[in-house]
């Protein structure tokens, strides 16, 4: 299940990025829902929120490769201890890994990550992101919530 969900995330992420690169120029912005949702094509050389974007590519790219490989080892190792019946935890790991691989592909081929989902609320603006980022965020949030609820349930038993 983890592999299938990860593959689905990677395919959707890469197809969406291909379409944006194919039909938009960098900095183009297309209104989807006025004041709320836009497709704005940017190329992010850094990590989340542009973190480490100022580093030289010779440092940045190997660093992100190492981080992705380390994350892969952690996800793979962790999932081996998760019982098959723990579907939500396994889904969360699949989302995280799929998102990590989606952005990893961009870093290898373009040396930057393609971002395009531009969420706003009138003049308030959030960082521009992509489907891989969304998958990682949803997966991590799901893991945190599941962990929190599991701890709450264990406290109730006493």
Which tokens is 98 given?
A: 């799929």
Is 133 in the active site? yes
Structure tokens given for 4: 């299938």
- Tell me, yes or no, whether 111 lies in a domain: yes
pLDDT for the residue numbered 76: 84
Residue at 54 is within a domain: yes
pLDDT bin (cut points 50, 70, 90) of residue 91 is very high
Residue 36, H or E segment: none
Tokens of 79: 């999932």
Q: What is the dihedral of CA 45, 48, 53, 57, to 10 degrees?
A: -50
Asked whether 120 and 90 are in contact (CB, 8 A), the reply is no
158, part of any domain? no
Residue 74 within a domain: yes
Sign of the alpha-carbon torsion through 119, 120, 121, 125: positive
What is the structure's pLDDT at 151? 66
What is the reported pLDDT for 63?
Answer: 84
In the prediction, which pLDDT does 152 show?
A: 60
pLDDT exceeds 60 at position 25: yes
The residue from 13, 106, 115, 118 that is catalytic is 115
More confident residue, 131 or 84: 131
**Is residue 57 included in any domain, yes or no?**
yes
Structurally, how many domains does the chain consist of?
Answer: 1
> How confident is the model over 131-158, as pLDDT tens digits?
999 999 999 999 999 988 876 655 455 4
Domain range for 61 is 2-152
Q: What does the pLDDT look like over 39-67, one tens digit per residue?
A: 999 998 766 666 666 667 777 778 888 88
Please give the pLDDT value at position 158: 47
- 29 pLDDT band, cuts 50/70/90, is very high
Would 157 be classed as within a structural domain? Answer: no
Residue 117: inside a domain = yes
Whose tokens are 């944006």? That residue is: 20
pLDDT of the residue at 140: 94
95: nearest Cα among 144, 49, 132, 47: 132
d(CA 31, CA 50): 23
153 catalytic per annotation: no
From 13, 106, 118, 133, active-site residue: 133
H or E stretch at 123: none
Determine, yes or no, domain membership for 35.
Answer: yes
């Amino acid at each position: 299940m983890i592999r299938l969900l990860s593959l689905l995330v990677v395919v959707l992420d890469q197809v969406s990025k291909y379409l944006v690169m194919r039909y938009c120029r960098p900095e183009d912005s297309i209104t989807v829902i006025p004041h709320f949702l836009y497709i704005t094509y940017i190329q992010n050389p850094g990590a989340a929120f542009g973190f480490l974007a100022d580093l030289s590519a010779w440092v940045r790219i190997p660093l992100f490769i190492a981080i992705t490989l380390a994350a892969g080892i952690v996800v793979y190792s962790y999932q081996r201890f998760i019982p098959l019946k723990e579907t939500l935890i396994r889904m969360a790991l699949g989302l995280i890994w799929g998102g990590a691989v989606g952005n990893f592909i961009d870093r290898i081929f373009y040396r930057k990550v393609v971002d395009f989902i531009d969420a706003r609320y009138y003049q308030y603006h959030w960082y521009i992101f992509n489907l891989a980022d969304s998958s990682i965020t949803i997966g991590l949030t799901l893991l945190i919530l599941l962990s929190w609820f599991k701890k709450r349930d264990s406290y109730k038993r006493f």
